Homo-oligomer: A and B are copies of this chain.
Amino acid sequence: MKDLNLLVSSPRKIRQSNEIAALQALHRARRLSRADLARVLNLNRSSSGHIIAELTAAGLVREVREERAARPNYSRAGRPGVMLELVPDAMFFLGIEIGVEHITATEIDLGASSIRTRTVAFDGPAHSVDDALRHAIALACSDIPPARMALCEGLGISIPAQLTLDGTVHFAPLLGWKDVNLTEIAERHLPRSVPVRVENDANAFAIGAAYNDTAIHSGVTLFVVMESGVGSGILVDGKLFRGGHGLAGEIGHLHVDGEPGKGRSLEQIVGLASILAEYRRVTGRAAATFEEFLSDVHDRAPQAVTIAEEWARTLAFALVQTCRIIDAGRIVLGGSVARLYPLVAARLSAHMLAAQSSSFPLPAIQLNAETNFGPAFGAACLMHQRYLSLESHRFLDDD
């Protein structure tokens, strides 16, 4: 039923979907000539020209006035093409992350570049849903003059919660929320009607970390976020895999040892809180920090190394289990705890190799170094992605 409607029908819709394809292509390649675009999209040069004309008139695309010396490379024979690029300021997208201790708001442009990010402390559990959203939206919109607000094409919200597919909070243990429709509430607090989407924080992080990395756009990638809690997001060809209820990737509660009934969860061993608790216990220093722990591991202090070894062993086990099910081609580790990874990368690999039957291909593991890419950025990217798809506001006038 739903596949069928996605198929394009009327002439006008052809142009719309081709325009979207052109925007996507320009986003990925940053710069293309009309002829380049025609090749990428398998279109005629003339059609490409018409599409560009329409997008230029709409203010989304412009010719880049290039310094003549700027391209000594690619000196093919023939008339050189005029390069085109997206107009970054044509619009912007907002992303906010409502965390347990803070709220972050970010703003990205049409090129998916971060314009600015702001974070404030916020005691999440102490506030109602309504208060939290009002604070967050105020933070995001505060410095934006009304005229500019008209260029906002979407607001993404990231929440540490289990969400159903329609943006309703199913259960948010960390915030104490339950069964609230965030989309509805957010729309009430917005100065202007804007598309809103809510997403789990791990999923949002995954989108953000992958969004400007063209290599990740194909295949299956697992993004693991390790803070106090542990979550993950699964990306298939650059698109989020949400599962039947939007809860896919909730690996924090995987059982990783002991009998099925008892045993501990991944989060209870790999999470920040557990590591710190254990490190403080063995060192006897109740105020020891994660930085000190990392430093100790680096210096090969036995007590810290033991903790790190169990961390690596447990994480390896969970990753192998997960890959048996989704067969990820790549794993990206993020969150503050991920800084432990470079210190024990070899151990992690060894444990994974041991747990894996030899014939099963091991995924590549990467560290997400960009601390800048948080859930807020990812939530904004989600709206950027939405704009560059058939759901886009601009193309839904009729129907």
Chain A residues at the B interface, C-beta cutoff of 8 Å: 1-5, 7-11, 14, 17-18, 20-21, 24-25, 40-43, 47, 162, 170-171, 173, 217-220, 234, 236-237, 241-251, 253-261, 313-314, 316-317, 321-322, 324-330, 351, 354-355, 357, 359-361, 363, 399
Contact = CB atoms under 8 A, between A and B. Distances in A.
B325 A249 contact: yes
Given A162-B359, A325-B322, A359-B171, A9 B260 contact: no
A24 B5 contact: no
A22 B283 CA distance: 69
Contacts of A361: 170, 245, 247
Most chain B CB atoms below 10 A, which of A255, A354, A355: A255
Given A8-B42, A260-B257, A244 B330 contact: yes
A282 to B, nearest CB: 21
Contacts of A241: 236, 241, 326
Contacts of A244: 219-220, 327-330, 363
Contacts of A260: 256-257, 313-314, 316-317, 351, 355
Contact of A255 (B3, B250, B313, B321): B321
Contacts of A25: 4
Contacts of A3: 21, 24, 237
A9 B259 contact: no
A25 B24 CA distance: 30
A151 to B, nearest CB: 25
Contacts of A245: 327, 329, 361
A233 B320 CA distance: 18
